[in-house]
Amino acid sequence: MLRENFVNGMSRVPNSVSIVTTDGVAGRFGVTVSATSSVSAEPPTLLVCVHHLSNASKAIIENGVFCVNLLHNEASIVSDTFAGRVPAPDGDKFSCATWHKLDSGAPAIDDPLVVFDCQLMQHMRINTHYIFIGSVLTVEFGKTTRPLLHANRSYGTSWLFPSAERNH
């Protein structure tokens, strides 16, 4: 009962939607996540949480790098593809969008809200998930400023906030 109430309660909390990617000796992998947070601005550090059974978890640990691709409000198909909710075109999840390689080697989506290229600093397993802490190497911005959000088991976006362009 507590687990069900916890899951239902957390489903009400709006979260940004990201595709966490990695590439290197362990191969190229990506997974949809909604648990991303800044840790520090000095130096820039963030964290993501990925299920321990995900192939991406093992690859992030072995590759030592990851990219957090925050999605804009028109990229729900990318989220659904990497979450396994819709079939990947040609069996390759990465074919649902266009990508480029960052300095770390991790794939970055070509039309993001924002991407953070990270060097893995630490990882720890807490129950069902790994927490990956990354030192941010590069930040790239997309043209779109409306984030893809997930709450109440569906997608949406923010419309009450002013555009990010007005804040720079």
Range of the domain at 139: 2-167
Residues in the chain, total: 168
Q: How far apart are CA 67 and CA 138, in angstroms?
A: 9
**Domain at 117, CATH number:** 2.30.110.10
Tell me which residue has tokens 């300095």: 103
Q: What is the predicted pLDDT for the residue at 11?
A: 80
DSSP secondary structure code for residue 12 in this structure? T
pLDDT per residue, tens digit, the chain (168 aa), is 999 998 888 888 778 999 999 999 999 999 999 999 999 999 999 999 999 999 999 999 999 999 999 999 999 999 999 999 999 988 999 999 999 999 999 999 999 999 999 999 999 999 999 999 999 999 999 987 789 988 888 788 876 666 666 555
Greatest alpha-carbon pair distance for the chain in Å reads 46
Q: Alpha-carbon distance 150 to 142, whole Å?
A: 20
State how many domains the chain has. Answer: 1
Q: pTM of the predicted model, to two decimals?
A: 0.91
- Asked if residue 59 lies in contact with residue 29, where contact means CB atoms within 8 angstroms, the answer is yes
